[in-house]
Chain A
Amino acid sequence: MRIAGLVLLLLASATPAGAQPRAPDTGTIVIVVGQEATTPIPTIPATKANGDIMSLLFLKLARLDGSRGTVGDRGYTPELAVRWSRRDSLTIAFELDPRARWHDGRPVLPRDVVHTFARVRQPGVDPQVRLLARHIASVTAEGDRGVVVRFTLSYPEQYYDAIENLVPLPSHLVDTIPANRIASSAFAQAPLGNGPYRWVRREPGRQVELAADPNFFLGRPKLERVIFLLARDYEAQINLLLDGTADALENVNPPARIARVNARPSYRVVAGPSYGVGYLLFNFKAYGDSTQPHPILADPAVRTAIITGLDRSLILRSTLGPYGSIPEGPVAQLHWIRDPGWSAPKADPVGAAARLRQAGWIDSNGDGILDRNGVPLILRLNYPGTNAVRATMAAQVQEQLRHLGVRIELVRLDGPVWLARRETGEFDLDFSQAVMTPSPTGLVQSWSCGGMSGSNVGRYCNPRIDSLLLAAALGRTDPGPLYREVLRQIRVDAPAVFLFTVSNATAVHTRFQNVQFRPEAWWSLLWKWSVRPGAQIARDRGVSR
């Protein structure tokens, strides 16, 4: 009895005291994430985790809607800048919103933008950051509110470069921190921004907590407390959601997990387009030897036969259900350069078989595998074993190509080994997936001859593509047709089987309303969410479970 009494006393004392009264549509959200944010500040190359939190702490001059384009300024909505104008072909002027404030109450000033640009130019800053701002010649302050950005040349994405790469830091706090030290500075451990949320704390390896800035100049956020809860294990992530510890989970694909979420009435799945694209990359060079052409895949007839022989719709439907589509090339659902009239051609296994036969591939010994001059048509397909979607798709690719007489040997690899083999060219086919930037200029990294020293691991090279990409990125004409010609040429050259662009399916508690996502920064519109009146739960009233 005494023990029972003690337990009751413990439990009673553990129950929180009465919660403070709150507005009926305010609340708290706990989001499960798989990566930890360690440095969510501008001027450091953003991982997905850092980028998500950074987008809540720091505003840009304007907010991009990538689907409306990255050329000119038609895709932007004001944020820190209230308006902007072009002075000449090399100059853009921004006017800062006088209401914009840092979280310590000081105004956001032109000198903050100027300082950020100077920081980006300092030696020691990450080359990726410097590269992105390479066409900006200068940034100067003009009066109390004006920021003038001058470029070294006239090109279509000047607005994009200025707005995406000049995310202001509070110069009054960081001006004494060297550029190469900012990641390890006290500022990076407790960043002070100007966005809808302010930093509260980070518990390394566990969670990051943000709180709404009640004075946010674009409107007070209704979700007053945001917690990013770290769980690296996929099973743990979904369990934490379904047991009510968390309220939201991004990327609940594949459909089996979505079905688990939909089975709970408290949750719904909200899907939105993403910048992710998945493809089977052909190696144009011999396995592990970049000096020799690939003995099988250097032949365009084989590559084209593999592409046309695969039923991509079937693979997509059975793996991603409605949460994906077939891309026309290395472009995601949101890229403005997509041709709206393009539709994926139907699979043609008969035509593919004929094409292989014409190229001299026949089954001379009746073992079910085509061969030519004694070389069997056997290809090794590398894929990361931790990715359920790619693992499932790889098995289907293997089975479909078996019917064509192509033997695919699946090489399931640990993530770091898979990446290392990509870099060294130790693959015939590689199951790649990339999250692309909204700007199509990024195509140059993986699909140009120039990219062969870096990310173009398949070593596909067509000088015409390089010329088109250069003209599109730096020319004075409308780059749209040029990019579409790049996509068409890539389809002709067949350097990869473009399998899917995926929708980001996110599980969200049903009590939230006005749920919006931005593909460019998934959680950045949290400040517009609210709780349906009458649907608040204990945590929304400031009570833990």
Chain B
Amino acid sequence: MSRWILRRLLQGVITLAVVMVLLFLLMRLTPGDPLGGIAGDRLMSPEEMQLLRARYGLDQPILQQFMTFARGAVQGDFGTSIHRYPDRVGPLIRDRLPASILLGGTVLLLNFTIGIGLGVLQAVHRGSRFDRWLTRISLAAWALPSFWLGLVLIAVFSLTLGLFPAGQMQDPLLPADAGPLTRLVDLLHHLALPALTLSAVSLAAGMRFQRTAMLEVLRLDFVRAARARGLPERRVIWVHAWRNALSPVVTLLGLWLPMLVAGSIYVESIFNWPGLGSLAAEAISGRDYPLLLGTAMLTSVLVVAGGVIADLGYLLVDPRVRDS
């Protein structure tokens, strides 16, 4: 078991090393000068550009640039942001992480409670009106582009009804000494629309996956046997059947884990949510190499970690995997 975990971790490290090289090369191959728009519409002299190139090491040979990047990346130091000079990339990401975890965590929580719960109920009541309507709604939600849904929710609930703020994670006028309850209510108020936007789409996926997995399990003999033994239906469903229908959802969990921090670039941008998604969007649009590499590496780490966690999840929920 421990050898297996060690092997998976080693694979993860190798994957990350490859990703690091690819990310660096792809970024340098992408057309566009990261210093081009640094002064907005103000024209910069060649001397000024030269000084800036030296500041960010962009005047060094490409191999030298990569070595500097790799050395820093191993230590978690991605250098200084180009468009937010003198801010360091590390603290910038650290500052944005809580907002992303909050939004992504809320979405994951909703997916794995409401989404899975509704998926199981759909399977149990297969073919009922409840199942048919939820299928239609979930397919419609799955088809909606999240940025469009976000704009519609803002137009209706913020600009027309005035029920929720159109953006931000907190009221900019909230006093620095505001109490924790005030902060909590303000936070939930601002969280509602972006979380709903992201959940509406991904919740549908959770429902569909869980419904399908559950339907397959409900047909199996051991479920019939459990019922024949006279066990209560609730116990049959949630203890016997559901546990065996969890594997696909564990896969989803692994896939969704990066969302916990990367969030959605579009949704974070339109809600002005100060998370890593909007930070990455800003880095992409400005070709802010250090910031872009920092956010991309973090996402890569989470993708790899998601895979490892999903594998560990299989071990927990499925004894057959453990034995093999």
A-side interface residues toward B, CB under 8 Å?
10-11, 13-16, 28, 30, 35-36, 38-39, 45, 47-48, 126-128, 131, 183-184, 188, 201, 204-207, 225, 227, 229-233, 235-236, 239-240, 242-246, 276, 386, 414-417, 419-420, 423, 433-435, 442, 445-446, 453-455, 539, 544-545
Contact = CB atoms under 8 A, between A and B. Distances in A.
A205 B95 contact: yes
B159 A242 contact: yes
B84 A416 contact: no
B43 A204 contact: no
Contact of A14 (B36, B45, B186): B186
Contacts of A39: 85-86
A208 B18 CA distance: 39
Interface string B117-136: 00000000000000000000
Contact of B158 (A128, A206, A239, A455): A239
Contact of A453 (B31, B33, B37, B46): B46
Contacts of A446: 43
Contacts of B34: 416
Interface stretch (B175-183, B207-215, B218-226, B235-243): B175-183
A161 B76 CA distance: 44
B167 A231 contact: yes
Nearest to B188: A10
- Please list the 5 inter-chain residue pairs (A to B) with the smallest Cβ-Cβ separation, ordered nearest first: A416-B32, A419-B36, A184-B86, A239-B166, A127-B47
Given A235-B151, A239-B167, A544-B173, 14 more contacts: A13-B181, A14-B182, A14-B186, A45-B48, A47-B40, A204-B84, A206-B169, A239-B154, A246-B172, A416-B37, A453-B46, A539-B173, A544-B186, A545-B173
A240 B167 contact: yes
B285 A414 contact: yes
Interface of A is mostly: mixed
Contacts of B173: 28, 30, 225, 227, 539, 544-545
Contacts of B269: 232-233, 236
B184 A10 contact: yes
B279 interface: yes
Nearest to A423: B33
Interface residues of B, number: 61
Given A204-B95, A205-B95, A236 B86 contact: no
Contacts of B48: 45, 126-128
Interface of B is mostly: loop
Nearest to A422: B36
Contacts of B41: 48, 276, 433-435
B271 to A, nearest CB: 7
Given A128-B44, A184-B86, A242-B166, A544 B33 contact: no
A35 B186 CA distance: 25
Contact of B285 (A14, A205, A235, A415): A415
Of A35, A233, A414, most buried by chain B (CB within 10 Å of CB) is A233
Contacts of A28: 173
A420 B36 contact: yes
Interface in B101-142: none
A413 to B, nearest CB: 9
A231 B282 CA distance: 11
19 contacts: A13-B182, A14-B182, A14-B186, A15-B182, A35-B40, A39-B86, A45-B39, A47-B40, A48-B41, A232-B272, A233-B269, A236-B269, A239-B159, A239-B167, A386-B285, A416-B31, A416-B32, A416-B36, A420-B31
Nearest to A446: B43
Contact of A243 (B33, B165, B178): B165
B274 interface: yes
Interface string B157-172: 0110010011111011
A16 B185 CA distance: 12
Contacts of A38: 84-87
A243 B162 contact: yes
A207 B172 contact: yes
Contacts of B44: 128, 454-455
Nearest to A209: B172
A468 to B, nearest CB: 20
A434 B39 contact: no
B86 A419 contact: no
Contacts of A434: 41-43
Interface string B66-78: 0000000000000
Given A236-B270, A423-B33, A245 B182 contact: no
B8 interface: no
Of A205, A225, A227, A454, most buried by chain B (CB within 10 Å of CB) is A205
A236 B272 contact: yes
Contacts of A433: 41
B309 to A, nearest CB: 29
Contacts of A415: 32, 36-37, 285-286
Nearest to B48: A128
B36 A13 contact: no
B192 to A, nearest CB: 13
Given A242-B166, A245-B172, A417-B32, A236 B271 contact: yes
B211 to A, nearest CB: 29
A204 B32 contact: no
Nearest to A414: B32
Nearest to B158: A243
B84 A36 contact: yes
B197 interface: no
A58 B270 CA distance: 34
B92 interface: yes
Given A233-B269, A414-B285, A416-B32, A10 B172 contact: no
